[in-house]
Structure 1
């Protein structure tokens, strides 16, 4: 397909992939510029939330060029970095030859059930056409007691912060992107996707709806970003829950 300058809010996978193909080489640099360097702090918080252990299998979805996957691999985890953009994967393989990069969709993960100790996704769930389908896929490929960690743009809960952030999104960010990026249209998509993304409570409900337990979130940078966590229940816990539902159904009958 030809180069796509920006996707729309329908988030067609081919258009999203084409948009990121066009920004791959300067993507990390521009992220650092447009976030005022906060992207590095967000990755540190992400790493602490995941707590990667040597030998663990971790899937980093929407991994881009591997900026989030690299620290987990350095900690000794066996990281698989998946992305829908071939351009991102090419840059990632050049920068991190020790990490396995795989082309694929978050909505149809090319992996067996119960395979990974942790699934992570940083600033990528917002770009998925059907995010709740992706959450179900994350649940499927996790081992029982496996960990889910999502870092995503969110909605600042404090009104004055929310207004200031909206001003930044509407004026400063597009202006900076126009000066620094060869594809500023992609950053118009960024603004639109952030504005239309649900708040922390709604995303937490989606995560619970996919079957995860111990769901919690932590606001970063006053709620501009939120770090969401969940666990896939153990097989025993899942069996007990099904038994309780069955008993409740018999009592209601």
Structure 2
């Protein structure tokens, strides 16, 4: 089994996601107690795409996260650097233009997207600042960004319970439903090490994004950050 470490070497992270591709969507639904669907709906509402807009969906994996934008009539480019995830997505959704790409070196021209989004993938990128700058580069002036990522629960007693769940309950549950449970130990560790809501907002501003704001979902387990190019 492949397990990435918190230094997030790209080849290790990509190989880890290759290993979990077949059951990734199912495992996420189980581990989140079905919350992933609600979070995806919140992303779609926040991005608020209109027919004909060009949307870049980074860290799209098998393409599940892109479906709400397709349904809204947008032209969506699902992009991921795990070839295993893209292959699995192509089997399930051959109509999607799944594209291989590294978030720190995107294979797109400047200013070509009306909206950019990334869900539960930014914390797996080795250089967060470079990725945020690249997203800014490929967004048109006035283009929108929505980041959906695990964050820090705001209620301290709940935060303690949540942390215990991540490190104690998550691995055995992942063992039961995932094709590579070791990967979920890394994912739990990466959630604990991720900056809080205000710190990520500061990184967005440093990368050149404006009108940065966020709102918490599920008590801060997840945060939606929004910004404008």
TM bracket (short chain): over 0.9
Q: Residue 222 of structure 1 aligns with which residue?
A: 219
Unpaired segments ≥5 residues, structure 1: 233-253
Aligned pair partner of 1:24 in 9, 21, 24: 21
- The one of the two structures with greater contact order (alpha-carbon pairs below 8 A, sep at least 6) is 2
- Per the normalisation by structure 1, the TM-score is 0.89
Q: Residue 164 of structure 1 aligns with which residue?
A: 161
Q: How many residues align?
A: 229
CA displacement at 1:98 relative to structure 2: 2.2
Q: Residue 249 of structure 1 aligns with which residue?
A: none
Q: Which runs of 4+ in 1 moved over 2 A?
A: none
CA distance in 2, matches of 1:177, 1:218: 28
- The RMSD of aligned alpha carbons is 0.8
Q: Which moved more, 1:197-206 or 1:156-165?
A: 156-165
* Alpha-carbon contact 2:167-2:189 (below 8 Å) kept: no
Q: Residue 171 of structure 2 aligns with which residue?
A: 174
* Alpha-carbon contact 2:44-2:69 (below 8 Å) kept: yes
When Rg is computed on C-alpha atoms for both structures, the one with the higher figure is 1
Q: Residue 120 of structure 1 aligns with which residue?
A: 117
Matched, 1:61 2:58: yes
- Per the normalisation by structure 2, the TM-score is 0.98
Unpaired segments ≥5 residues, structure 2: none
CA displacement at 1:108 relative to structure 2: 0.1
* Alpha-carbon contact 2:119-2:147 (below 8 Å) kept: yes
Q: Secondary structure at the match of 1:100?
A: coil
Q: Secondary structure at the match of 1:152?
A: strand
Matched, 1:74 2:44: no
CA distance in 1, matches of 2:129, 2:70: 27
